[in-house]
Amino acid sequence: MIKRFAKSEDGAAMVEMTIVSSLLFALVFGFVDFGYAFYQWNAATKAVQVGARLASISDPVATALATAAPTTTPGAPVIPSAYAPFVCQYTGNTGACNGDSAKFNAAGFSTIFRGDTTYTNDNTCPVLAAGQRPGMCHFFPGLHRDNIAITYTATGLGFQTRLGGPVPTITVNLQNITFQFFFLKGLMGFNDITMPSMLSTVTGEDLKSTAS
């Protein structure tokens, strides 16, 4: 009886299938998780490109930019580093440039974040109507305003007392975005991943909302 039991192979296929299935499911779910992470990376990259383009042709988020360059010599070139960079971003529902909320153009930020849709002071991403330009949130679903930082830097373009203000270099970057594993976190204990900060830099153009 014992010898017959020891030689019996009944159920071996089921055990083997259980082991192989576990590895197969982990592999498939891993592809799904990492594939979705790669999709988010591509979406975030496209979002910063669109955001930088919108920022270059929209009203500056930093309202103090128009008078930031020196005014002592009208017509003189604006040299690099003529003024300190303006970093504009949200903390919760409060937007500020270099920590000063009074110099923050919320409507201008909204244009970059949600495109030509109606301004609202929240993270909603409205559906676009015909002919409206999309914003960053339309390319990266789930994006929040406090994930975005917009920086205006003096790089030697434009001239002092220019009617539209100096011509800055504009950098839009995403920050504090976390990818959460769905399958592998439960199966294999993977931790959430903070996506590296990504950015896009362009030169300012008309810097007014009527540009296209």
Q: For residue 38, what is the enclosing H or E element?
A: helix 12-56
Residues facing 153 on adjacent strands: 169
More confident residue, 206 or 180: 180
Q: What is the number of other CB atoms lying within 10 angstroms of the CB of residue 89? A: 22
The pLDDT, as a whole number, for residue 62 is: 96
pLDDT tens across 11-32, in order? 566 666 777 777 777 778 778 8
CA distance 175 to 158: 30
Most confident stretch, 65-79, 87-101, 166-180, 197-211 = 87-101
What's this model's pTM, rounded to 2 decimal places?
0.82
Residue 13 phi/psi, 5-degree rounding, is: -65, -35
Residues facing 194 on adjacent strands: 178
The pLDDT, as a whole number, for residue 30 is: 77
CA distance 84 to 68: 8
pLDDT tens across 111-137, in order? 999 999 988 889 999 999 999 999 999
Three-state secondary structure call for residue 36: helix
